[in-house]
Structure 1
């Protein structure tokens, strides 16, 4: 069985060319793909945790500058952000300035395994409690539906497919929202890899920002457009 035959795997022609060379070490079976993603996830997390503090800060500043440029086109959109975990890009300093600009912010909350995320409104005075994995979440259940979702990533390829923690929360969330949200993945430059071997349920991001580089997924892949006015 090759990757093309694995149920739930989306393999591009470029990926298949890579797979044709045994010396590349790319996985060929479903078991190998699962193992590869787990190993790559661990490698990429270790790589970003090893970055010096000043490098992380510099990348975060570049990312927020690019986010400001993108968000300028949607000044009234509800924005979903996140609380950083295990070396993710730390947006908190930037985030605290957004309410002063009139931006409404939603933070994700995990409600259960295999379930889409829910979002609660966050502000400067919002009390926080510890959620799953000890990540702070808003204590008050004030639901807010985002129109733009900024998602942290561990790895990403040029087609916009994201390698996360393997729980599928963001993929399910983007599919469950009542409207088509603009999705933006952010990470460190070390996150870019040739492919993540995406599964059929995984959704490519609309934009990717990695500090030094950023790219947009071709719009012809999404004729429906965003649910933004």
Structure 2
């Protein structure tokens, strides 16, 4: 049995999509090229701004664009879809309504990981865009699993860092912003911190020392590998 191809809704932003690819390459033990996960990537930086739509209340709804991307990827042979952008998961229903293949949902993966690490009653700190907070995606998923949630208080500074990373790439200033927020979450009682913005995934080494943390991109990488390899490894034994 061959590996099942995964369709990637990418470009939000481009560096995050490349990061996902690199992590996938690094995560799979291989003896030949054919052991790597086959990907169909729609790298579309023209997806309407999620921040404009959710925070500024202006601009085009990204949902129809994401739905069109999902249909293209399914039509090209994707057996499942993945999207390395936390904020865009607000539009997950538009994606899943447009196709018959599953979406490997990063928010649900993160919530499942959190409850497996902490059990019901744990407290999760979320390092993410204010747009992610506005959607309440993580509150809904975490609270359904008996977990509480805390957020950094300086959301404007985090949003500035995200926008700078999109323009200039990772920087020491952005890492310091992330570290400051991470320290604040630890002081607020977070038992586990989620790096839940793909721009922050580019600087995940900026999370405060000695805190328990998980990057949603890493969780998505594991889910992609597991889905793609079903039947493949046993077939190779």
TM tier, smaller? 0.3 to 0.5
Task: Give the TM-score normalised by the residue count of structure 2.
Answer: 0.35
Task: Give the TM-score normalised by the residue count of structure 1.
Answer: 0.36
Q: Judging by fraction of residues, say which structure has more strand.
A: 1
Q: Which has the higher contact order (CA 8 A, sep 6+)?
A: 2
Q: Judging by fraction of residues, say which structure has more helix.
A: 2
